[in-house]
Amino acid sequence: MTNRIIDHDQDAGATSQRYHYTRVTEIHGHTVRARIQRGIYNNVNSGAVAEIRANGMSWSTLTAAGIDSWWYDTPKPSPDIDPAAVLGPLAEQLLCGAAEILASPPAMPTLSVHLYRAINGLLAISGGFTDEARIDPDDIAWAYAHGGALHIIEHPDGSVTFTKAHRDDCPFLTSAGARDCDDECDFPHPADTTHRSTS
């Protein structure tokens, strides 16, 4: 899933005592802001948070950056500081962290008996009727990072499709398997991605 951040507004200011930068965005349909203030002292008037507008009125913290991770790397307050230039990269990090949190898949619902039996069938046809498989955390993370998201489609005839081969807006998925894929579901092969990143 692409963590698309849409900018709505920003505010910045600087004095001899402190400078601040706020960037308001939309992420996955939520209003999210990064709010950073750098004071003279690291324990007074300094902080860096990403917040979500909870009920149209108040803001709730999604993530924060520890003072030690950024305060010492920023210049002392001055009216000549460009807050957006100095604090902008940290705001981007905070917003990307917020986007990852908001993009996390919701808790899985309890499997129906039919889906449980379909997983039983998938395991049996891929490895035999007495097959056993254990997937370690590294394999889970690898599978999550490569290909499409897992989609499960229950068809009217009782069959079930488990797929990672389609993008979220593919006609095959949006029609619950009634329409064919439009052949635009291209995901980089992991070996190609690794090869490109090392060259």
Whether residues 128 and 46 share a domain: the answer is no
pLDDT one-digit tens code per residue, 155-183: 888 888 888 888 888 888 888 888 898 88
Does the pTM surpass 0.85? The reply is no
Whether residues 140 and 63 share a domain: the answer is no
Is there a contact between 24 and 10 (Cβ–Cβ < 8 Å)?
yes
Q: Which residue, among 94, 68, 78, has the nearest Cα to 19 in the 3D structure?
A: 78
Whether residues 20 and 99 share a domain: the answer is yes
- The structural domain count of the chain equals 2
Whether residues 93 and 126 share a domain: the answer is no
Host domain of residue 149? 113-198
pLDDT at 143 over 90: no
How would you classify the pairing of strands 47-53 and 18-27? unpaired
pLDDT at 105 over 80: no
Q: Which of 89-93, 98-102, 147-151 has the lowest mean pLDDT?
A: 147-151
Domain boundary among 75, 103, 131: 103
Sign of CA dihedral 100, 106, 111, 115: negative
How confident is the model at residue 67, as a pLDDT? 92
Whether residues 10 and 51 share a domain: the answer is yes
pLDDT at 1 over 50: no
Whether residues 136 and 99 share a domain: the answer is no
Whether residues 127 and 78 share a domain: the answer is no
